[in-house]
Chains A and B, each alone.
Chain A
Amino acid sequence: MNDLLSRPWPWYVAGPLIGLMVPLLLKIGNKAFGISSSLRHICAACLPGRIDFFRYDWKKESWSLVLAAGIVLGGVLGGVVFRNPDPVRISAATEAGLKAVGIENTGGLHPAELFNFHALGTARGLILIVLGGFLVGFGTRYAGGCTSGHSITGMANLQWPSLVATCSFFAGGLLMTWVILPRILGL
């Protein structure tokens, strides 16, 4: 049992479980599965200012903040309590490609040398963590959803704008991975 919980799960186990979040949230409270809107509610709760976009009754959306807190807790369970002691087994091609730009896969979910508090003092760490985070927040809100709201809920509900959004997510990701990221990592 312990082994089952600490080992990584194959896609054909984890994927359907992720898909089940959609009917589960609809059944327990008529909520559409989507994570990025919680960021908006936090802004509305903490710093609405005079911005119309944040002036609404965020308390009605508290469920989404509780869901986000649960995700952090799930991360503690999956990544600390039942931590996988082995490195993430990525393909040999990716490993070689990353090694070529100076990233070694030595265990952990993220490259330890890029994603730690000291790295915030380096140009590449600051760009990846702070600018990257900023673009995730700005982009998901501008797009009206993220991987959960558009790519899973929206596409599963056959919404063509969600397909357009998903293709755009990918276009941005490919441009970053193939063109911009190697330059950032070279800093």
Chain B
Amino acid sequence: MKYLKYLLVGTGFGFVLTKSEAVSWFRIQEMFRFQSFHMYGLMFSAVLVAMVSIQLIKRFQVRTISGEPITLQPKEFSWGNIFGGATFGLGWAMTGACPGPLYALVGAGVPVMAVAVVAALSGVWVYGLIRHRLPH
């Protein structure tokens, strides 16, 4: 039962991703071709709202519903941000989907994306296998 809230948040997120068409290969192509503001507006407004929210949470020391303090781990730099990031970018423009949309598309009527999810899992697994040999 304690996980029900995450199921609801996930469902809401999947629904918004689909309605905004951020899950669409066509929209991702449009973005990488700089031919529409849609995806940029989506990203900028999402970041802005999240940024203001985080500032308010910090300023007013907001706690979770169960009373714990809220903490956010800093993201430490690694060369993976660059090499892994560019690798992900290649795959993003191929599948037209980052991980959230990959899940959403499985439900949204592009069932072959389940194969892409399994391929993504194998990518994560191979990363786990060879990560000590990669620059970080």
Residues of B with C-beta under 8 A to A67:
6-7, 9-10, 13
Bitwise, A26-57 to B at CB < 8 A (1) or not (0) is: 11111111011011101100010001111000
Partner of B88, one of A79, A90, A139, A158: A139
Q: Tell me how many residues of A have a C-beta within 8 Å of chain B.
A: 130
Given A11-B37, A18-B16, A153-B50, A165-B91 contact (CB < 8 Å): no
- The binding surface of chain A is classed by DSSP as helix
A61 to B36, CA, bound (A): 37
Partner of B7, one of A69, A105, A139: A69
Residues of B with C-beta under 8 A to A27:
62, 64-65, 70
Name the CB-closest residue of A to B30: A94
Is B87 interfacial (CB 8 A cutoff)?
Answer: yes
The answer on a CB contact under 8 Å between A120 and B11 is no
A64 to B7, CA, bound (A): 9
Given A51-B128, A90-B26, A110-B96, A75-B18 contact (CB < 8 Å): yes
Given A133-B115, A164-B77, A171-B86, A78-B5 contact (CB < 8 Å): no
The answer on a CB contact under 8 Å between B110 and A110 is yes
Name the CB-closest residue of B to A20: B49
The answer on a CB contact under 8 Å between A111 and B78 is no
Residues of B with C-beta under 8 A to A74:
10-18, 104, 107
A14 to B66, CA, bound (A): 28
Is A123 interfacial (CB 8 A cutoff)?
Answer: no
The answer on a CB contact under 8 Å between B45 and A42 is no
Q: How far is the CB of B6 from chain A (nearest CB, A)?
A: 4
Q: Report, nearest first, the 6 A-B pairs whose CB atoms are least far apart.
A: A70-B10, A74-B14, A172-B89, A79-B108, A142-B84, A168-B85
7 contacts between A and B (CB under 8 A): A28-B65, A35-B99, A39-B99, A128-B95, A137-B119, A147-B92, A173-B32
B residues adjacent to A (C-beta < 8 A): 3, 5-33, 35-39, 41-51, 53-54, 56-57, 62, 64-66, 68-78, 80-100, 102-113, 115-129, 131, 134
